[in-house]
Each structure stands twice: as structure tokens, then as C-alpha cells.
Chain A
Amino acid sequence: MIVKGRIWKFGDNIDTDIIIPAKYLAHTDPQALGQHCMEPLAPNFPKEVRAGDIIVSGTNFGCGSSREHAPLAITALGIPLVVAKTFARIFYRNAFNKGLALLEADIYDLVKDGDEIEVDISTGIIRCGESKVTAKPIPPFMVELINEGGLINYLKKKLEG
């Protein structure tokens, strides 16, 4: 799958309290969550981001609480992909479970806000300007889960089967 989008850069250790502050966690509606995505760092982000845009970050993206509201808030804004140097482990599981693709690659210093990049999620090849970077492959087990349509579809089939 190929996605092409504008970049929003966020630095290292972007925690889930930034992605969606706890005071909004009584909401379960993704659209309501999306309106407060990244609010402590970039209050205008939900207004200015366009569907198809891509987040690029440094190390340990998604650290902190286990709230699944975080990937939900991101996907609600139409963001299909986050590219970061590394991800926190709970966020990693949650994102795939919620249909948000993640790629581990070090492109942070290669790009600036607003640049457009093209990413082949299945091969992990990222084209930014003149550079071509290959992301760390998604673990085969996760690929299998994605092919099954995510954990919940996998479970559904299992229960029906």
C-alpha cells in the first residue's frame, strides 16, 4: 500500500498525554478525541491537519499510558501512518489493533514540516525528496495480523469458526 502525504514533525518521547490529554478520556467517540489530538504541543493541529498527512517523530513515540484513545485520535484525523525512530511498546500494539500503520525509520533529520513523502507501507520504502530510506520491516506476526484484518477480525473469525 502506497501513501503520499504532507509531514508534521514532532520530536522525541511524544507521550500519550500529548497525543490525547487525559481530561478528554471520558470520550470514546474517535471524532471527539481527534479534535484534541496533540493539543498541549500544537493546539491548532486538528484544524490544520489534512486527511492523508503523516506524522514523523523521533524516539519512543507513544510512550506513557496504555490509552487506545491515542491511536484513535490520530486515525480520526485521517492520518494513516506514523514514521518514528522508535515506538513505545504498548502504543505499537494499539496502533496496529486500531488500523494505524507504524514504520520505524530514522528520517527525522531528512525532512521538514510540510514536506511531502511517499511511503510504501508493505515494503517500508520511504521517499523523501532525493533520499530513499528503508524502514525496519514490520514483524511477520504483525503482518499476519494486518492481513487477517486486525486482532478483532481475527478473533471474530475464530469465534465464528
Chain B
Amino acid sequence: MGMTITEKILAAHADRDRVEPGEIVDCRIDLAMANDITAPLSLEEFEKVGAKAVFDPNKVVFVLDHFTPNKDILSAENCKRIREFSRKHAIVNFFEGGECGIEHALLPEKGLVVAGDLVIGADSHTCTYGALGAFSTGMGSTDVTYGMVTGRIWLKVPESIMFHCYGKWQKWVTGKELILHILGMIGVDGALYSAMEYSGEAIAALSMDSRFSIANMAIEAGGKNGIFPVDDRTIAYMKEHATRPYKAYTSDDDAKYSQVYEIDASKVGFSVACPSLPSNVRDAGELGNIDIDQVVIGSCTNGRLEDLAMAAAILTGKKVSKGLRCIVIPATPAIYGEAMRRGYFQVFLDAGCIISPPTCGPCLGGHMGILAKSERAVATTNRNFIGRMGHPESEVYLAGPAVAAATAVKGKIARPEEVI
């Protein structure tokens, strides 16, 4: 019996020839990451166990992205604590201030993850790096402490589910629309404990930015990881960003999948997840009478260059609807700089958008755009749970960048062709 990409990466990191779904394996890790919310708890555990050092100061990463620039005294204290720890332990990859971006956009961009790696992070969207053909998964602070100290982690080998996509994409449809479409199909626990693997010509046609969006939201289906085959695009991306050698794994023809879904790309429309579950998916065309107070274009799901380019293309020469706030958040300083050079910022400013520094900010209801009671937002983020972006009676609709930008212009949920 053959193995899937996920099984091969886990076997390699457990120094074994093969692993089977359901088995618990003890694996080497290539990277352990935590952020300004989860690292403080990790560091508490680090002290409790009396550890003297991290397993490798090059392979522990801290990104202060959630409540930064610090929103209050408590968050400032947390960051200070992580900063002091990083100095003491000579942590190489400590990101804050002007070097900081949203972790899951930043790590690939900095070349810290390559194909074949095994990465754990104290953040559920650590699964994003599967776009590069790496195994990466989120866990809690305590598990990450274990990884930081020992360079190892226990993992249950997941079953794999295959999503095979064929056909051609409609204009303006991206990876975000696909993953929302999938969530609508299988539900928020449709891939519980499983690896979500992607294949097919329609997947090969997707940009890396779109693949990151798809891998990012594996957790929204309960998935352990999302994973993509390595192709020319992946290799080009790694050449541009990374210097470490990579290892491209491919699934065997006789690898075992617990389920196989066939998806016709041409049938994926402008998926929008309505409150309050990412699986509550409808087409933007059915939601045209819903008034919107705030649009957020950003996050680890859709704050990358492709997303900003789409938003800029739609907003060129247009104005944000009166009474609506449109907040654009480039995910990293490099994306910020490139968006500026390409002239997107002028487009956003002319349209009346707010441009935020890279931060998680409103995505988790942290700061920089909190919703009042009964306000509604369209966001390119990944979660629309009750109260996620502010008041428990506010609502979040999840969409791709084109629908978000079109909505900003129209003031109601809109498809891109309605405003162009």
C-alpha cells in the first residue's frame, strides 16, 4: 500500500519507512512557532519544567502579530516578556515592530518553511504552510513548549481526504472561494483529525497566494493539515524566498484516502460564509440585500499581494460607500512595500479606505476595527464565530478579496461584476 504526502513527511521525521493512519508517532520538528498571545503561556511552561535552553535557537520563532502595535498594557507586558526571553536565548527569528507581519504570511515569505518540513505552531492556522508541500499543524502552547525544548513532538498520523479539482476558474474566483465552497460541502467538522490534500489541473492553475488561503482554512473544517503537491510554482516561490534545501514528496498512486471529492472549478462561484460558521456558505448573488458597515481586507488568509491587487483593481476610480469603513491590512512589511510601489495605496486612499500596518487586529476582534452591536462586516478573514470581530450581536461574513472590495463600493454584499 502506498503512502500520501502527509504520511511520507511524518514517516521521514519519525525516522521510519512507513506510518499508518491512527498510529501515534514521535517526530523531529523543523520549526516551532508561537505568537504574542500563545508564547506567554509557552514560556510559563518552559520555566515550570526548568528547561535551560531551546533545542535550537534557529528553529524557534516568535511573531508578535496579534495585539501589536501593543493595544494595551497587558499585551505590552506580554511582548516585553517574549522579547527578553528571545534575547536571553539568542532566538534568531524574533519578529516585532517594523519587521513583523502576520505569522502565516511572514514565515513562508522569510523562507523559514520549505517543502518536506514538519512545523508546529501555537496557532491554529499554522496549517497554512501546507501550500508549500510541508506538514504543518497548530497546537496549544504547552505542546509547543515540548517542541521548543526537545525538538520533537508526538503526532497521530491523520487519515487523508483528497480534493481533486478540475476545470477552469471563473474570473475573480480565488482559492478563498474554493475553500469556502469546500466548507459549505463538508461542514466545520468534515475533515476532523484528517489531512486535506489537493490535486488536479485546477489546483495547478492556482497562484501560491491562493494555495496559502486554502491550506490556511483546513482548520475550519477540523482538519489537521492541508497539503499541496510541489510543482514549478512552489519551486519558484521557494527559490525566491528560501535558501534551505527542500524535499518534494508526492503521494503514491495507490495511497489510501478516507474520502475523495471531485470538484469542478467552473462551478465554484462567489462563496460567502454567513454568520456564524465558516460552513454556512451561500453565493454572494443571493445576499445582495444585506447592508454592510465594515469591510476588512487582510489576515493570514487574504492579506497577500494577490488579494491587494484584486481589491485595487476593483477599487480603482471608485469610492467606498458612504457610511462604510473599509480597512486594508497588508499582511507583512514586504507586501506593504510592494503594494505601495505598485500604486495600490493611492487607489485605496482615493477610494476612502483605511490602510493599517500589518497586524491581526480586527480578525480576532483584537483592535483596529471592532464591531458595535448589530453591525455587520464582510471580511477576507477565516472565522465568523459569534462575537469574533466585536460585540456578540455583531456579524461577520467571510468572502474572497473581490467580493470584499465590491461590497465596500456597493455598501451591500456584491459580486465584482456589479461594481465594475
Contact = CB atoms under 8 A, between A and B. Distances in A.
Interface stretch (B47-55, B313-321, B326-334): B47-55
B250 interface: no
Contact of B124 (A18, A25, A65, A141): A65
A75 interface: no
20 contacts: A13-B277, A15-B383, A15-B385, A17-B365, A23-B365, A25-B37, A25-B364, A65-B383, A66-B124, A66-B138, A67-B37, A68-B38, A68-B41, A68-B140, A86-B189, A88-B192, A94-B142, A151-B143, A156-B49, A159-B149
Given A22-B364, A40-B392, A89-B222, A94 B38 contact: no
Nearest to B277: A13
Contacts of B277: 13
Interface in A69-108: 69, 72, 86, 88-90, 93-94, 97-98
B216 to A, nearest CB: 13
B75 A26 contact: yes
A134 interface: no
Contacts of A69: 37, 41
B298 interface: no
B141 A63 contact: no
Contact of A17 (B67, B142, B386): B386
Interface string B29-51: 00000000110110011001111
A26 B219 CA distance: 23
Given A13-B189, A21-B387, A22-B366, A67 B38 contact: yes
Contact of A151 (B37, B146, B366): B146
Interface residues of A, number: 41
Contacts of B189: 13, 59-60, 63, 86, 88
B410 interface: no
Interface in A27-52: 27-28, 39-41
In this complex, the member of A17, A93, A139, A159 whose beta carbon has the largest number of chain B beta carbons within 10 angstroms is: A17
Contacts of A64: 124, 219, 383, 385
A69 B188 CA distance: 21
A3 interface: no
Nearest to A85: B189
Interface string B190-234: 001100000000000000000000000001001010000000000
Nearest to B35: A66
Kindly state the interface size class of chain B when it binds its partner.
35 or more
A152 B45 contact: yes
B72 interface: yes
B123 interface: yes
A44 B35 CA distance: 31
Interface in B57-81: 66-67, 71-72, 74-75, 78
A110 interface: no
A17 B140 CA distance: 15
Nearest to B391: A40
Contacts of B222: 60, 63, 88-89
Most buried by A among B140, B149, B219, B365: B140
Nearest to A145: B154
B265 interface: no
Contact of B188 (A17, A63, A89): A63
Given A28-B44, A60-B188, A66-B121, 16 more contacts: A13-B277, A17-B364, A18-B385, A21-B365, A26-B74, A26-B75, A26-B78, A86-B189, A90-B124, A97-B140, A141-B154, A152-B146, A155-B150, A156-B50, A159-B50, A159-B149
Contacts of A25: 37, 66-67, 364
Interface in B341-363: none
Contacts of A158: 150
Contacts of B364: 17, 22, 25, 65
B131 to A, nearest CB: 19
Contacts of A59: 189
- Top 9 nearest A-B pairs (CB, nearest first) are A26-B74, A94-B140, A40-B392, A22-B364, A40-B387, A68-B140, A97-B142, A66-B124, A60-B189
B387 A93 contact: no
